[in-house]
Chains A and B, each alone.
Chain A
Amino acid sequence: MKHLPKHLRPRWRYLAVAIESWPDADIDRRAFQRELWYAGQNLLGDPGSAAADLTVVRFAFGDGTGHALVKVRRGETEPARAALSCIDEIDGSPVGIRVCGISGTIRAAEENYLGRGRQDLEERNVVFGNEERVAVVRDGDGSADVRLADESFAGATDLDYDLA
């Protein structure tokens, strides 16, 4: 079909979203898209999610951090924000979600808000709460996820542990 004349095309806004989880989380684009549409439908209802659109157009995730670009109809960015904030876990992994910024084009959103490169992860032996543990340390910003005895993680920073 011939594409629409410019004045009839919908105006989009692109939400740059930062995603965070534990280091062992495995989240792919389909899972994120599914959870986002669920969240939209649950919070905004069918008309609200139709109005917001909420399509994931860029997605990257690895080693517990990632980012996504979410396409939203102009004027619906606040409902979209609300829907995004209601995503609490994806495929059983709890996730932290934050909107870093909004742009009118994919390119501007990528350049302005997703510019930061991937952080390197490092496993270190640390002393946390008087016990020796393995921590997954993020290079550069000081946060560390300490693996506990029951295979779960504790979120910590370099203030909380001593290197073993």
Chain B
Amino acid sequence: MYEAVHAHPDGQSTVARLAKTAADYGFEGVVVRNTPNARPAYDPDEIRDEYGVDVVEGVEIRTDDPQEASGAVGNHRPDETIVAVAGGSTAMNRFAVENDKVDVLARPMADDGDVNHVVAKAALENGVRLEFDLSRVLADHGGRRVRVLQSLRKLYEIVDHYDAPYVVSATPTTHLEFRAPRELTALGEQIGLPADFIEDGLAEWRNLAERNRHIQSESFIEPGVERGRYEEEH
């Protein structure tokens, strides 16, 4: 299971500290999803060797303008393993799910964002994962949390019905905001998201990272095209 994090300078802890905490809490890896203008300086291989957790390089694009987002997705796609686009408005949600270069639509229900059957079908078609962000559930309480829970439940019903791809994260910005997978599944049970749904969502980050690493590796030629064993260099 992986956790998607905002590292220093986006958050308050460095990638190394977040990775170390992830290892202590029983995660297998972290996805670094800083915004493009707050890139952290880190060496993924060094951290991987030191703490034994995978470090996935990613980016989260935050803007209100689909055109700007489109440019940013094009810029970051070749370098980053995971490209997420922050939702939060109808225009951005539609942009993200209709673009197969995007891996994750982050926080689709935040602010003015909403998800309906059209968005879910487009996400399914383009393989864009809809994110269930539990950070507001962990930090808020009272009326604001009630609204967050309502939106998560709505998203769950739609995702469940269309079998749309999704990811789950608690999106920590410091090592103190980490919560272990068992705590997150227990929380999920309380708020109406089944335990295996949460576990699959946390594990989906890993599948996504593996798929994209394979596509970006040199051995990958094109979808459906593979080097056969009969091919020999002359």
Contact = CB atoms under 8 A, between A and B. Distances in A.
Interface string A134-158: 0000000011000000001111110
Given A96-B175, A143-B20, A82 B187 contact: yes
Interface string A80-111: 01101110100000111111000000000000
B17 A160 contact: yes
A84 B183 contact: yes
A142 B16 CA distance: 10
B177 A96 contact: yes
Interface string A26-67: 000000000000110011100000000000000000000000
Nearest to B180: A98
Nearest to B137: A86
A82 B16 contact: no
Contact of A97 (B137, B179, B182): B179
Nearest to A78: B186
Contact of B138 (A86, A143, A159): A86
Contact of B50 (A86, A99, A152, A159): A159
Contact of B183 (A21, A98, A152, A155): A98
Interface stretch (B7-15, B99-107, B154-162): B7-15
Nearest to B149: A43
Interface in B28-78: 43, 46-47, 50
Interface of B: 8, 12-14, 16-18, 20-21, 24-25, 43, 46-47, 50, 137-139, 141-142, 145, 174-180, 182-184, 186-187, 189-190
23 contacts: A42-B145, A43-B190, A81-B186, A85-B187, A88-B138, A88-B139, A94-B174, A94-B177, A95-B176, A96-B177, A97-B183, A98-B24, A99-B180, A99-B183, A142-B20, A155-B14, A156-B8, A156-B13, A156-B16, A156-B17, A157-B14, A160-B16, A160-B17
Interface of A: 20-22, 38-39, 42-44, 78-79, 81-82, 84-86, 88, 94-99, 142-143, 152-157, 159-160
